[in-house]
Amino acid sequence: MSNDELDIAIMRRLADHPQASQRELARETGVSLGKINYVLRALIDKGWVKAGSFARNPEKLGYAYLLTPRGIEAKARMTRAFLARKVHEYDRLRAEIEALRSELDAPRDTSSPEQM
Protein backbone atom coordinates (compact mmCIF):
# COMPACT_ATOMS: atom_id res chain seq x y z
CA MET A 1 0.00 0.00 0.00
CA SER A 2 1.48 3.35 -1.03
CA ASN A 3 1.69 6.27 1.37
CA ASP A 4 -1.13 8.09 -0.46
CA GLU A 5 -3.32 4.98 -0.30
CA LEU A 6 -2.62 4.63 3.43
CA ASP A 7 -3.39 8.31 4.02
CA ILE A 8 -6.69 7.94 2.16
CA ALA A 9 -7.59 4.71 3.99
CA ILE A 10 -6.92 6.30 7.38
CA MET A 11 -8.77 9.52 6.59
CA ARG A 12 -11.77 7.59 5.21
CA ARG A 13 -11.90 5.48 8.37
CA LEU A 14 -11.57 8.52 10.62
CA ALA A 15 -14.33 10.36 8.74
CA ASP A 16 -16.69 7.51 9.62
CA HIS A 17 -15.25 6.54 13.02
CA PRO A 18 -13.28 9.38 14.64
CA GLN A 19 -12.89 7.40 17.88
CA ALA A 20 -11.09 4.51 16.16
CA SER A 21 -7.95 3.60 18.04
CA GLN A 22 -4.55 3.39 16.43
CA ARG A 23 -4.61 -0.34 17.08
CA GLU A 24 -7.92 -0.65 15.19
CA LEU A 25 -6.56 1.43 12.31
CA ALA A 26 -3.45 -0.77 12.16
CA ARG A 27 -5.52 -3.95 12.07
CA GLU A 28 -7.88 -2.62 9.38
CA THR A 29 -5.13 -1.29 7.11
CA GLY A 30 -2.71 -4.16 7.64
CA VAL A 31 0.21 -2.00 8.73
CA SER A 32 2.09 -1.82 12.00
CA LEU A 33 0.96 0.23 14.97
CA GLY A 34 4.16 2.28 14.68
CA LYS A 35 3.41 3.12 11.04
CA ILE A 36 -0.14 4.22 11.98
CA ASN A 37 1.29 6.46 14.70
CA TYR A 38 3.78 7.94 12.22
CA VAL A 39 1.10 8.56 9.56
CA LEU A 40 -1.34 10.09 12.07
CA ARG A 41 1.36 12.45 13.33
CA ALA A 42 2.12 13.45 9.73
CA LEU A 43 -1.59 14.06 9.02
CA ILE A 44 -1.83 16.16 12.18
CA ASP A 45 1.32 18.11 11.20
CA LYS A 46 -0.20 18.81 7.76
CA GLY A 47 -3.30 20.17 9.48
CA TRP A 48 -5.56 17.51 7.96
CA VAL A 49 -6.42 15.73 11.21
CA LYS A 50 -7.02 17.12 14.68
CA ALA A 51 -6.57 14.91 17.73
CA GLY A 52 -8.78 15.55 20.72
CA SER A 53 -8.83 13.71 24.01
CA PHE A 54 -11.89 12.37 25.73
CA ALA A 55 -12.56 9.95 28.56
CA ARG A 56 -13.93 6.57 27.49
CA ASN A 57 -14.19 5.71 31.12
CA PRO A 58 -12.93 7.46 34.27
CA GLU A 59 -9.73 5.39 34.36
CA LYS A 60 -8.78 5.57 30.70
CA LEU A 61 -7.94 8.47 28.41
CA GLY A 62 -8.69 8.12 24.71
CA TYR A 63 -8.51 10.18 21.55
CA ALA A 64 -10.82 11.17 18.75
CA TYR A 65 -9.24 11.99 15.41
CA LEU A 66 -11.27 14.53 13.47
CA LEU A 67 -10.72 15.60 9.88
CA THR A 68 -10.22 19.32 9.57
CA PRO A 69 -11.77 21.28 6.69
CA ARG A 70 -8.33 21.14 4.98
CA GLY A 71 -8.27 17.40 5.65
CA ILE A 72 -11.68 16.93 4.06
CA GLU A 73 -10.49 18.81 0.96
CA ALA A 74 -7.24 16.81 0.84
CA LYS A 75 -9.14 13.54 1.24
CA ALA A 76 -11.45 14.45 -1.67
CA ARG A 77 -8.52 15.49 -3.88
CA MET A 78 -6.52 12.35 -3.06
CA THR A 79 -9.57 10.13 -3.55
CA ARG A 80 -10.18 11.60 -7.02
CA ALA A 81 -6.55 10.99 -8.01
CA PHE A 82 -6.63 7.46 -6.56
CA LEU A 83 -9.85 6.66 -8.41
CA ALA A 84 -8.42 7.96 -11.71
CA ARG A 85 -5.33 5.73 -11.26
CA LYS A 86 -7.44 2.68 -10.47
CA VAL A 87 -9.79 3.27 -13.43
CA HIS A 88 -6.74 3.53 -15.71
CA GLU A 89 -5.32 0.29 -14.24
CA TYR A 90 -8.70 -1.40 -14.69
CA ASP A 91 -8.99 -0.31 -18.32
CA ARG A 92 -5.45 -1.49 -19.07
CA LEU A 93 -6.06 -4.84 -17.36
CA ARG A 94 -9.38 -5.30 -19.14
CA ALA A 95 -7.69 -4.70 -22.52
CA GLU A 96 -4.97 -7.21 -21.65
CA ILE A 97 -7.58 -9.81 -20.65
CA GLU A 98 -9.44 -9.30 -23.92
CA ALA A 99 -6.21 -9.67 -25.90
CA LEU A 100 -5.42 -12.92 -24.10
CA ARG A 101 -8.93 -14.24 -24.69
CA SER A 102 -8.69 -13.38 -28.38
CA GLU A 103 -5.35 -15.15 -28.55
CA LEU A 104 -6.82 -18.28 -26.97
CA ASP A 105 -9.97 -18.18 -29.10
CA ALA A 106 -8.11 -17.65 -32.40
CA PRO A 107 -8.16 -20.72 -34.67
CA ARG A 108 -4.83 -22.50 -34.73
CA ASP A 109 -3.08 -23.33 -37.96
CA THR A 110 -2.31 -27.05 -37.61
CA SER A 111 -0.20 -27.15 -40.76
CA SER A 112 2.66 -25.08 -39.36
CA PRO A 113 5.78 -26.98 -38.20
CA GLU A 114 5.60 -25.28 -34.79
CA GLN A 115 2.38 -27.11 -34.02
CA MET A 116 3.84 -30.57 -34.63
Q: What is the pLDDT of residues 90-104, one digit of tens each?
A: 999 999 999 999 999
Residue spans of the domains in the chain: they are: 3-103
Q: Which residues of 44-76 are buried (b: 16+ CB within 10 A; e: fewer)?
A: eeeebbeeeeeeeeeeeeebebebeeebeebbe
With 0.75 as the threshold, say if the pTM is over it.
Answer: no
Spatial neighbors of 6 by CB under 8 A, at least 6 apart, are 29, 31, 35, 39
- The confidence score (pLDDT) of residue 59 equals 56
**Tens of pLDDT, residues 16-32:** 999 899 999 999 999 99
- Spatial contact of 108 and 115, defined as CB atoms under 8 Å apart: yes
Residue 79 has pLDDT above 80, yes or no: yes
Residue scoring higher pLDDT (67 or 61): 67
Which CATH fold topology does 3-103 show?
Answer: Arc Repressor Mutant, subunit A (1.10.10)
Closest Cα to residue 4, out of 90, 66, 70, 77? Answer: 77
